[in-house]
Structure 1
Amino acid sequence: MSATPREHTRTYYLGKLATELEERGLTALLRSHPPALRISHPDTFMLAETVDCVPLSGGWFYRWSWGELVGLADEPALAAARIERVLAARP
Protein backbone atom coordinates (compact mmCIF):
# COMPACT_ATOMS: atom_id res chain seq x y z
CA MET A 1 0.00 0.00 0.00
CA SER A 2 1.51 3.32 -1.03
CA ALA A 3 1.33 6.56 0.90
CA THR A 4 -1.16 9.20 -0.17
CA PRO A 5 -0.03 12.68 -1.25
CA ARG A 6 -1.34 14.01 2.09
CA GLU A 7 0.84 11.50 4.00
CA HIS A 8 3.85 12.55 1.92
CA THR A 9 3.21 16.20 2.80
CA ARG A 10 2.88 15.35 6.50
CA THR A 11 6.10 13.34 6.42
CA TYR A 12 7.91 16.18 4.61
CA TYR A 13 6.90 18.76 7.22
CA LEU A 14 7.56 16.41 10.13
CA GLY A 15 11.03 15.71 8.72
CA LYS A 16 11.79 19.44 8.67
CA LEU A 17 10.63 19.72 12.28
CA ALA A 18 12.68 16.68 13.31
CA THR A 19 15.83 18.29 11.88
CA GLU A 20 15.19 21.49 13.87
CA LEU A 21 14.53 19.53 17.07
CA GLU A 22 17.64 17.38 16.68
CA GLU A 23 19.74 20.54 16.20
CA ARG A 24 18.44 21.59 19.64
CA GLY A 25 19.52 18.29 21.21
CA LEU A 26 16.08 16.66 21.34
CA THR A 27 15.21 13.22 20.00
CA ALA A 28 12.51 13.04 17.32
CA LEU A 29 11.33 9.65 16.11
CA LEU A 30 9.02 9.49 13.10
CA ARG A 31 6.05 7.17 13.42
CA SER A 32 4.92 6.14 9.95
CA HIS A 33 1.20 5.44 10.26
CA PRO A 34 -0.26 7.89 10.80
CA PRO A 35 2.78 10.14 10.38
CA ALA A 36 3.74 11.82 13.67
CA LEU A 37 6.86 12.64 15.71
CA ARG A 38 7.57 11.25 19.16
CA ILE A 39 9.74 13.96 20.75
CA SER A 40 11.79 13.65 23.92
CA HIS A 41 14.92 14.90 25.61
CA PRO A 42 17.63 12.21 25.40
CA ASP A 43 18.26 12.40 29.16
CA THR A 44 14.60 12.09 30.12
CA PHE A 45 12.78 9.69 27.80
CA MET A 46 9.91 9.61 30.30
CA LEU A 47 9.06 13.17 29.26
CA ALA A 48 7.89 12.88 25.70
CA GLU A 49 5.27 14.38 23.45
CA THR A 50 3.74 13.46 20.14
CA VAL A 51 3.31 16.08 17.42
CA ASP A 52 1.54 15.55 14.13
CA CYS A 53 0.90 17.79 11.14
CA VAL A 54 -2.55 18.69 9.82
CA PRO A 55 -3.97 20.75 6.95
CA LEU A 56 -6.27 23.58 8.04
CA SER A 57 -7.77 26.55 6.24
CA GLY A 58 -4.59 28.63 6.78
CA GLY A 59 -2.15 25.95 5.59
CA TRP A 60 -0.37 23.06 7.29
CA PHE A 61 0.16 23.20 11.04
CA TYR A 62 2.04 21.20 13.67
CA ARG A 63 -0.32 20.00 16.41
CA TRP A 64 0.20 18.61 19.92
CA SER A 65 -1.30 15.23 20.82
CA TRP A 66 -4.11 16.99 22.73
CA GLY A 67 -5.12 19.02 19.66
CA GLU A 68 -3.64 22.46 20.38
CA LEU A 69 -1.67 23.94 17.49
CA VAL A 70 2.10 24.26 17.90
CA GLY A 71 2.66 26.49 14.87
CA LEU A 72 2.81 26.76 11.10
CA ALA A 73 4.50 23.90 9.31
CA ASP A 74 6.20 26.49 7.07
CA GLU A 75 8.04 27.72 10.19
CA PRO A 76 9.64 24.59 11.68
CA ALA A 77 12.28 26.58 13.62
CA LEU A 78 9.58 28.51 15.51
CA ALA A 79 7.64 25.32 16.22
CA ALA A 80 10.80 23.57 17.44
CA ALA A 81 11.57 26.47 19.78
CA ARG A 82 8.07 26.23 21.27
CA ILE A 83 8.33 22.45 21.69
CA GLU A 84 11.72 22.86 23.32
CA ARG A 85 10.30 25.39 25.80
CA VAL A 86 7.34 23.16 26.67
CA LEU A 87 9.52 20.09 27.26
CA ALA A 88 12.00 22.14 29.32
CA ALA A 89 9.18 23.50 31.52
CA ARG A 90 8.07 20.04 32.57
CA PRO A 91 9.33 18.76 35.93
Structure 2
Amino acid sequence: MSATPREHTRTYYLGKLATELEQRGLTAMLRSYPPALRISHPDTIMLAETIDCVPLSEGWFFRWSWGELVGLADDPALAAERIVHVLAARR
Protein backbone atom coordinates (compact mmCIF):
# COMPACT_ATOMS: atom_id res chain seq x y z
CA MET A 1 0.00 0.00 0.00
CA SER A 2 1.49 3.32 -1.02
CA ALA A 3 0.99 6.55 0.89
CA THR A 4 -1.41 9.14 -0.46
CA PRO A 5 -0.36 12.77 -1.06
CA ARG A 6 -2.35 13.72 2.08
CA GLU A 7 -0.34 11.21 4.15
CA HIS A 8 2.90 12.60 2.73
CA THR A 9 1.82 16.11 3.78
CA ARG A 10 0.94 14.89 7.29
CA THR A 11 4.29 13.12 7.60
CA TYR A 12 6.15 16.22 6.39
CA TYR A 13 4.52 18.49 8.98
CA LEU A 14 4.81 15.93 11.78
CA GLY A 15 8.52 15.51 10.98
CA LYS A 16 9.05 19.25 11.34
CA LEU A 17 7.19 19.20 14.67
CA ALA A 18 9.25 16.22 15.86
CA THR A 19 12.46 18.15 15.20
CA GLU A 20 11.18 21.13 17.22
CA LEU A 21 10.08 18.90 20.11
CA GLU A 22 13.38 17.01 20.22
CA GLN A 23 15.26 20.34 20.36
CA ARG A 24 13.18 21.04 23.49
CA GLY A 25 14.12 17.75 25.17
CA LEU A 26 11.10 15.61 24.34
CA THR A 27 11.04 12.27 22.57
CA ALA A 28 8.92 12.15 19.40
CA MET A 29 8.31 8.92 17.50
CA LEU A 30 6.51 9.03 14.15
CA ARG A 31 3.82 6.41 13.64
CA SER A 32 3.52 5.68 9.94
CA TYR A 33 -0.15 4.76 9.51
CA PRO A 34 -2.08 6.79 10.12
CA PRO A 35 0.69 9.38 10.47
CA ALA A 36 0.92 10.71 14.03
CA LEU A 37 3.56 11.59 16.63
CA ARG A 38 3.88 9.80 19.95
CA ILE A 39 5.44 12.36 22.27
CA SER A 40 6.91 11.75 25.70
CA HIS A 41 9.35 13.24 28.15
CA PRO A 42 12.44 11.01 28.55
CA ASP A 43 12.21 11.21 32.35
CA THR A 44 8.52 10.33 32.51
CA ILE A 45 7.77 7.75 29.82
CA MET A 46 4.37 7.09 31.38
CA LEU A 47 3.32 10.63 30.43
CA ALA A 48 2.82 10.55 26.70
CA GLU A 49 0.60 12.21 24.15
CA THR A 50 -0.29 11.61 20.51
CA ILE A 51 -0.43 14.49 18.05
CA ASP A 52 -1.76 14.21 14.53
CA CYS A 53 -2.07 16.67 11.67
CA VAL A 54 -5.34 17.50 9.89
CA PRO A 55 -6.36 19.66 6.93
CA LEU A 56 -9.04 22.28 7.63
CA SER A 57 -10.36 25.08 5.45
CA GLU A 58 -7.76 27.48 6.94
CA GLY A 59 -4.81 25.13 6.32
CA TRP A 60 -3.09 22.23 8.07
CA PHE A 61 -3.20 22.02 11.87
CA PHE A 62 -1.63 19.90 14.58
CA ARG A 63 -4.26 18.32 16.84
CA TRP A 64 -4.22 16.75 20.31
CA SER A 65 -5.52 13.20 20.76
CA TRP A 66 -8.74 14.60 22.28
CA GLY A 67 -9.42 16.68 19.15
CA GLU A 68 -8.45 20.18 20.27
CA LEU A 69 -6.17 22.06 17.86
CA VAL A 70 -2.58 22.71 18.96
CA GLY A 71 -1.74 25.20 16.23
CA LEU A 72 -0.95 25.76 12.58
CA ALA A 73 1.30 23.18 10.97
CA ASP A 74 3.10 26.06 9.22
CA ASP A 75 4.43 27.15 12.64
CA PRO A 76 5.89 24.01 14.23
CA ALA A 77 8.00 26.03 16.70
CA LEU A 78 4.92 27.65 18.25
CA ALA A 79 3.08 24.31 18.32
CA ALA A 80 6.09 22.70 20.03
CA GLU A 81 6.09 25.44 22.70
CA ARG A 82 2.40 24.79 23.40
CA ILE A 83 2.97 21.04 23.63
CA VAL A 84 5.94 21.47 25.99
CA HIS A 85 3.86 23.82 28.16
CA VAL A 86 0.92 21.39 28.42
CA LEU A 87 3.13 18.36 29.10
CA ALA A 88 5.11 20.29 31.74
CA ALA A 89 1.86 21.16 33.52
CA ARG A 90 0.91 17.45 33.67
CA ARG A 91 4.21 16.26 35.19
TM over 0.5: yes
Query: Percent same amino acid at aligned positions?
Result: 87
Counterpart Cα distance in 1 of 2:76 and 2:82: 10
Residue 24 of structure 1 and its aligned partner are, at CA, apart by 0.2
Match of 1:77 in 2: 77
* Per-residue deviation, residues 13-59 of structure 1 (Å, max 9, x unmatched): 00000000000000000001100000000000100000000000000
Name stretches of at least 5 consecutive residues in structure 1 with no aligned partner: none
Name stretches of at least 5 consecutive residues in structure 2 with no aligned partner: none
The RMSD of aligned alpha carbons is: 0.4
Counterpart Cα distance in 2 of 1:46 and 1:83: 16
Counterpart Cα distance in 2 of 1:6 and 1:72: 16
Counterpart Cα distance in 1 of 2:81 and 2:6: 25
What number of residue pairs does the alignment pair up?
A: 91
Match of 1:10 in 2: 10
What does 1:22-41 align with in structure 2 at a 5 Å threshold?
Answer: 22-41=22-41
Q: Secondary structure at the match of 1:25?
A: coil
Counterpart Cα distance in 2 of 1:83 and 1:34: 20
Q: TM-score, normalised by structure 2?
A: 0.99
